[in-house]
Amino acid sequence: MAFVLFLLMALVLVSYGPGGSLGCDLSQNHVLVGRKNLRLLGEMRRISPRFCLQDRKDFDFPQEMVEGGQLQEAQAISVLHEMLQQSFNLFHTERSSAAWDTTLLEQLHTGLHQQLDHLDACLGQVMGEEDSALGRTGPTLAVKRYFQGIHVYLQEKGYSDCTWETVRVEIMRSLSSSASLYERLRMMDGDLNSS
C-alpha cells in the first residue's frame, strides 16, 4: 500500500513539474482537469436534450478559429483563457446555481478555476505590452461574442431548464473542440524545448 501511495505521489509531483521552456504549466494534469470538467458537465444533465429540441440553437461557435492552425501561441493561449473564463462566469451565476446540482457545480467551478490558474501564468509570459490588444481583437473577440450570444439566449428564454440544458451541451461541445488547441500548444512548447 505504501508503495502505491509513493507512486501516486511521484505521479502528482511529475505532473506539476514545469511545462516547458515558457514555464507554462500545460502539463498532462491540465489536460486531465479539462477531461474531468467535461465529465462533470456530462453528469450535470438533468433532462434529456430530446425534450428540448424546440430550444436548440446554433450559437455560431468560432470553430475554425479555435481548431484552425493559424493561431500563434499568444493568440491560442488568449483564446483558451477566454473560453475558460467565460465558461466559469456562465456557470458561476445565481441563476446557474438554481439550475444545477450544487455539488457538481462547485466541482466544475473548481476545475475551471484550476485551468484558468494554469493558463494565467502562460498568458502573462507570452503576452507582452504589444500583445495586450489580443483580448479585444480577432479570435478572442469571436469567443467573447459567442458567449455573449449564449447569455442573450438564456435571458431571452427566461433561463428555463431546457435553455440551460441546451447551453450545457453547447459548452461541452466548445470545450471539447478546444482540446485540439491544448494539444497544439503542448506541441509548440515541445518544439521550443527541442530546439
Distance CA 9, CA 165 (A): 38
The contacts of residue 45 (CB under 8 Å, 6+ apart) are 165, 168
Grid cell digits, residue 80:
483558451
Which residue in 171, 178, 2 sits closest to 88, CA to CA? 171
Report the pLDDT value the prediction gives residue 25, as an integer from 0 to 100: 54
Judged against a pLDDT cut of 50, whether residue 108 lies above it is answered with yes
pLDDT (mean) for 143-161? 95
When divided into structural domains, the chain yields a total of 1
Distance CA 59, CA 182 (A): 22
Instruction: Give how far Cα 100 sits from Cα of 53, 92, 104, 142, 156, Å.
Output: 20, 11, 8, 27, 19
Report the pLDDT value the prediction gives residue 118, as an integer from 0 to 100: 84
The answer to whether residue 5 is domain-embedded is no
CATH of the domain at 165: 1.20.1250.10
Instruction: Give how far Cα 16 sits from Cα of 32, 64, 91, 112, 153, Å.
Output: 12, 31, 27, 17, 39
The answer to whether residue 11 is domain-embedded is no
- Encoded amino acid at 30, one letter: H
The answer to whether residue 10 is domain-embedded is no
Judged against a pLDDT cut of 70, whether residue 8 lies above it is answered with no
Confidence of residue 167 (pLDDT cuts 50, 70, 90): very high
List the domain range (segments joined by +) for residue 137: 24-44+64-193
The answer to whether residue 132 is domain-embedded is yes
The answer to whether residue 77 is domain-embedded is yes
- Of the two residues 97 and 169, the one the predictor is more confident about is 169
The answer to whether residue 56 is domain-embedded is no
The answer to whether residue 6 is domain-embedded is no
Residue that the C-alpha cell 502528482 belongs to:
12
Report the pLDDT value the prediction gives residue 103, as an integer from 0 to 100: 95
CB 88 within 8 A of CB 105: no
Judged against a pLDDT cut of 50, whether residue 195 lies above it is answered with no
Q: What is the mean pLDDT of the chain?
A: 78
In a 10 Å sphere around its CB, with 0-12 CB exposed, 13-18 middle and 19+ buried, how is residue 110 labelled? middle
Instruction: Give how far Cα 57 sits from Cα of 45, 72, 85, 170, Å.
Output: 18, 30, 22, 9
Judged against a pLDDT cut of 60, whether residue 141 lies above it is answered with yes
Judged against a pLDDT cut of 60, whether residue 106 lies above it is answered with yes
Judged against a pLDDT cut of 60, whether residue 194 lies above it is answered with no
Grid cell digits, residue 102:
450544487
* 52-82 residue pLDDT tens: 999 999 999 988 777 666 777 778 888 889 9
The answer to whether residue 152 is domain-embedded is yes
